[in-house]
Amino acid sequence: MKARFVLLGLAAAALVMVPPVFFTGHHKGQPTTAAGAVLAAPTPDSRDGQEAADWEHKFRISSSTFSNNEAIPPSMVFSGALGSVCTGGNESPQLSWTAAGRGTRSYAVTLFDVTANFAHWGVYNIPADTTQLAMNAGSPTSTTEVQVYNDAGIQGYTGPCPPPGLVPNGTHYYVFTVYALDKTLDLTPSPDFPPEAAALYRAMIGHVIDQASITGLFSCTDASSCQ
């Protein structure tokens, strides 16, 4: 009997030690636990039979602007000085996702540089019957999307423009994630409290029905000219 109580105690301790899925108290954007868990997804072509059929029904995200785990095109790169001086188009990519499960009330989309722990974009309260965002939907002047302030202090999309030498190989991983939520979010701004990326992640805790990610790669070797 004593051994049984010891085992139960160890199991309870293990559950307590499991890290939270979303916000962990980091200053910027998405938590390390969520960002580090992003993996390249296999394609339906690599599966056979029933497994391939099951895959077709999973929640997925794709883009006509770039491919998963491929280089980000110049159109998506920041224009101006950020970590480096960049000369891109600073346009958010086209994104499409499959319809999420029953109970979805809204979607949120984020862009997070998991290499630099930097939030580049956050869109929320996308209607449940919407399954795509057009290219440049993240424009700071957009009136069709509800966007938070990113870690660059811009309300909208800020493209990749990292400093060189931050990591040995220079490659940064930019993860676009769509979240299916069981509610619409209330992030009412005020003059002294504009909604930021961290607030968006906190608001989603306990309301995520499903999520899917796609990753773009970008590196900069010259801080004075990056594209």
* pLDDT tens, residue by residue, 158-198: 999 998 888 878 899 999 999 999 999 998 766 666 789 99
DSSP state letters, 38-92: --PPPPGGG--HHHHHHHHTS--EE-SSS-TTEEPPGGGS-EEESSSEEES---P
- 84 or 138: which carries more pLDDT confidence? 138
Model pTM score? 0.76
- 19 or 140: which carries more pLDDT confidence? 140
Question: What residue spans define the domains of the chain?
Answer: 20-219
Q: Can you identify the CATH homologous superfamily of domain 20-219? A: PEBP-like (3.90.280.10)
Q: Taking residues 92-101, what's their average pLDDT?
A: 96
Contact 91, 160 (CB under 8 A): no
121-161: pLDDT as tens digits: 999 999 999 999 999 999 988 877 789 999 999 999 999 99
The chain-wide mean pLDDT, for the chain, equals: 78
Q: Taking residues 5-27, what's their average pLDDT?
A: 35
- 108 or 83: which carries more pLDDT confidence? 108
Report pLDDT for 168. Answer: 78
> Is residue 96 very low, low, confident or very high in pLDDT (cuts 50, 70, 90)?
very high
90: left (phi > 0), else alpha (psi -120 to 50), else beta? left
Report pLDDT for 153. Answer: 92
